[in-house]
Each structure stands twice: as structure tokens, then as C-alpha cells.
Amino acid sequence: MNKGLKLLLFGLMAMALFVIAACGGADEPATSEEEPAEQAEDGAEATEASGELVVYSSRNENFVDALLNKFQEETGITVQALHAGDNAVNRIKEEANNVQADIFISNDIGALEHLRLEGLLEGSEPEGIESIDELYRAEDNSWFALSARTRVLMYNKDLITEEEMPKSIVELADPKWKGQFAITRGGNGGMIGHVSALRNEWGDEKTAEWIAAVKDNAGAILEGHGDIRRAVGAGEFAFGLVNNYYYHQQLQEPTDNNVGVIYPDQAEGEMGAVVNAAGVGKVSGGPNAENAQIFLEWILQPENQREFSFESLEVPINPDIEAPEGAATISDYKTHDMPLSELGKVWEDTRQLIEEAGLDLDL
């Protein structure tokens, strides 16, 4: 075969290969589009996503950051977090006509239900929602609780014995305890939930009198429960009114950890300890609705429910998730019977009652 013919055949073969490759390539996009669609229908495996998720949180950022970082790493969604404390609720209300947040992580179920009643949360049916008892989620699943906390009296064992400690919340109004204990400011989510339960139990008049007396008796009114646990641990006060997981946190401190705890109102005929919970809600009209739905299904996965509660040493709502070592489960003691969803109906009225009774919402 002469040289010219060889070149001609080589050229024809090259052109044929080019055409085959081009035809094969034209089919590839359709195939790649179909496969992700099938994965998306499967649910959890399709959390590989993009874009942002804007999260407003009223919880301590030390309890939230690791969780959000885990979500970001596992899904590829960039999280923008605003740690706004108790101002998060007002921020969401102020932005009702220009929604910025997708998810609200709250320390207080009353705040979540309040936002739902205001039309600022939207319902959904995330996969895994059945793992949360109906008592601990909104009727439309626009919010659901993940971890519970109980209002307790943490005390310094070097200053007071268990026998000497008050055993009922009502005793904090007794002048004998003047200057010996610390409480939070009135706008703290735990305080709002607690006062709401007292209103349900006692009525507004007795509750307002109790608030005024406790304010006068308190040795200090502090910003948050972390401040109280450290002050009690250091012996600045004999005891303080906190959420139970702060007691467990103080036990883990290398020093100032000789503390005990009283679950109040456990005697026959008494109302039981007041329980509240932390959870998440989906903000209505959020800018990243699809990513918000991905987050809700992600957080309901058992390992992430555990992550939500264990960082703060709270007790998981889901009974299939083990409680932190040493923590009492809700079934171990008598609790107040006010449904948590009821807290939202009186949330704003309770804030007003607290302020009118003389306990400032903010320091």
C-alpha cells in the first residue's frame, strides 16, 4: 500500500471515531440527569446539595455550632448562623415581610408555638418525624422538640445540705432565703416557660406576687443559667434556679463542682417539676426552603438527634436515644402536666406579666 493511500485510510478512520464519540456523548447528559432524579426520590441519600441555609438560634452557640458544622460537611450546604439569643423570636417577627431565616433553633417550645400561631412557621412532613411523640411537636409539624430540660434547684454542698434546701418553687418567695440564691432575668426562655406553667397552676395574681417576692429575695439576677451555675459552684450563692443540664455541666468542671440538685415539687399533691424543651422550626417563606427541608430530615436521623441533645447534656425526647450518663430521664420524677404546646398561646402574655411584676426582661 502506498503512502498516500495509507494517509487517506487513517484519515477516514479518525473521522469515524470522532462521529461515534460525538453520538455517544450526546446521550450522556440524559443519563446523568435521570440518575440524580432517582436518588432524590430515595430521600436521605440525596442530601448532597448546594446553596445556603440561614439558621437563627436562641441556644448557646457552643451547643449549636458543632451540629451545624456537621450538617454543612455532610450535605455541602453552607450554613449562615445568627446566634441571637432571646432576640431571635423578635427578629423573625420583624422580618415577616422580608424573610431572611430558613430554620429557627429554639431553647423554648413556647417561642416556637408562638411563632406558629403568628403564621411565621410552616408545616411539613419530614422523614423521621414519627420518632417524636405527638405531645412534643406542632399539629402541623412546623416545629418539633428534640431535647427536654427540667427546672431544678442546683445547690453548693459546701454551703447547704440537701435536707436544708427548699423542696418547692413556692418557697423561693419566703424571706428566709433572701440573698441566698440567683435567678435569670425575666426574658430568659427558661424563665418565661416556667412562669407560664405557674400561671396555669396558680393563676395570674398569685404568680405575679411570687415573681415580685422572688425578685426581692434573689441575691442576684443574672443574664443566663451558665452564669448561675458558675456562681453557685464558686460558692457565691447557696443555690440557683436553673435548667437541669446546667447541673450536669457543673459536675464536669475541674473545680467548683461540689454541687447537688433538687427536683422541686415532688411531694404528694404538689405540681411536679416544670419541663420545657428545645427544638427546631421551619420558617415560613424562607429563602432556601428546599435546604430547610433537607435540614429537618437530617436532624431527625438518630445520630443527629443525639448530637442535638448531648452537647448540652439535655435528655433526648426520642425514647430510643439514650440519655447522657447520670442524667435523670423524664419518667424518673414527677412533672407538671401543662402541655408544652400550650406555652405558645400565653408566651407574649407571660412576658408582659413578668415585666409588670417587676422582673426586667433584660438586664
Tell me which CATH homologous superfamily contains domain 47-148+277-327. Answer: Periplasmic binding protein-like II (3.40.190.10)
Domain locations in the chain? 47-148+277-327, 150-275+345-356
Per-residue pLDDT of the chain (363 residues; tens, 9 = 90+): 444 434 333 443 444 433 334 444 333 333 323 333 333 333 344 446 679 999 999 998 988 999 999 999 999 999 999 999 889 999 999 999 999 999 999 988 999 999 999 999 999 999 999 999 998 999 999 999 999 999 999 999 999 999 999 999 999 999 999 999 999 999 998 999 999 999 999 999 999 999 999 999 999 999 999 999 999 999 999 999 999 999 999 999 999 999 999 999 999 999 999 999 999 999 999 999 999 999 999 999 999 999 998 878 888 999 898 887 777 777 788 999 888 888 888 989 999 999 999 999 998
SS3 assignment for the chain: CCHHHHHHHHHHHHHHHHHHHHHHHHHHHHHHHHHHHHHHHHCHHHHCCCCEEEEEECCCHHHHHHHHHHHHHHHCCEEEEEECHHHHHHHHHHCCCCCCCCEEEECCHHHHHHHHHCCCECCCCCCCHHHCCHHHECCCCCEEEEEEEEEEEEEECCCCCCCCCCCCHHHHHCHHHCCCEEEECCCCHHHHHHHHHHHHHHCHHHHHHHHHHHHHHCCEEECCHHHHHHHHHCCCCCEEEEEHHHHHHHHCCCCCCCEEEECCCCCCCCCCECEEEEEEEEECCCCCHHHHHHHHHHHCCHHHHHHHHHCCCCEECCCCCCCCCCCCCHHHCCECCCCHHHHHHHHHHHHHHHHHCCCCCCC
Domains 47-148+277-327 and 150-275+345-356 share a fold: yes
CATH number of 150-275+345-356: 3.40.190.10
